Amino acid sequence: MELDYCAIGTRIKERRAKKKWTQEMLASAVGISNPHMSNIERGRTKVSLGTLTDIANALDTTLDELICDNLVRGKVVFDEEISQELKECNEEDIRIVYDMVKALVKSLAKRKH
Query: In terms of domains, do 57 and 88 share one?
Result: no
Structural domain tally of the chain?
A: 2
Query: In terms of domains, do 17 and 43 share one?
Result: yes
How far, in Å, CA of 82 to CA of 17, rounded?
Answer: 20
Query: In terms of domains, do 55 and 80 share one?
Result: no
Distances (CA, A) of 46 to 4, 62, 105: 9, 18, 44
Query: In terms of domains, do 59 and 18 share one?
Result: yes
Query: In terms of domains, do 12 and 62 share one?
Result: yes
How far, in Å, CA of 106 to CA of 113, rounded?
Answer: 11
Query: In terms of domains, do 62 and 9 share one?
Result: yes
- How sure is the predictor about 48, in pLDDT bands with cuts at 50, 70 and 90? very high
- How sure is the predictor about 110, in pLDDT bands with cuts at 50, 70 and 90? confident
Query: In terms of domains, do 35 and 61 share one?
Result: yes
The average confidence (pLDDT) of the chain is: 89
Domain with residue 38: its CATH number is 1.10.260.40
- How sure is the predictor about 73, in pLDDT bands with cuts at 50, 70 and 90? low
**Top-confidence range, 37-41, 82-86, 105-109:** 37-41
The answer to whether the predicted template modeling score (pTM) of the entire model surpasses 0.95 is: no
Query: In terms of domains, do 80 and 62 share one?
Result: no
**Phi, psi (5° rounding) for residue 71?**
-75, 145
**What is the residue range of 83's domain?**
75-112
